[in-house]
Structure 1
Amino acid sequence: MSLERCGYRADSAGGYALNPDKKTSVNKPATSRQPMPGTRDREVGEALRSVYDKAVQESVPDEMLDLLSKLD
């Protein structure tokens, strides 16, 4: 962002000074970029898929297999 857009102007000494003609607000809150709609949902979905994939790849403990075999 240029200094002129922030309310400054070039002065005669080659520096910049606040432009009195430009209305500025000292207490103006900084604006942040808003995420694209659905971005948060996509990130949560990716995280859930990652956790699910890791859980599916884990082996079944021997104790659980033993208990399951007793049900038959």
Structure 2
Amino acid sequence: MAFGSALASIGLSIPAIAIISVISDIRMTLGIDIKSTVLLGLSLFIITVSLATGKTNIMQGAVLVGIFLIYLFTSIVP
């Protein structure tokens, strides 16, 4: 139940704020540095490839875990 609530909060609030920022012509930033932005883009690419094929395998999961570990490492050791 908590997972669904968190997913709904994130899934609804970010698009709502993005729409409001476009309507009111205010620039919206995510507040993350370039390393984190690259890792986010890479993660979204891997997830898109996984969802486009309809099947997920252990390699795609391992790549996502690896990206997460790189993110944690770069957050702790700048």
Q: TM-score, normalised by structure 2?
A: 0.29
Would you tell me which structure has more helix in proportion to its own residues? 2
Q: Which has the larger radius of gyration?
A: 1
Would you tell me which structure has more strand in proportion to its own residues? 1
Query: Highest relative contact order (Cα 8 Å, sep 6+), 1 or 2?
Result: 2
Q: TM-score, normalised by structure 1?
A: 0.31
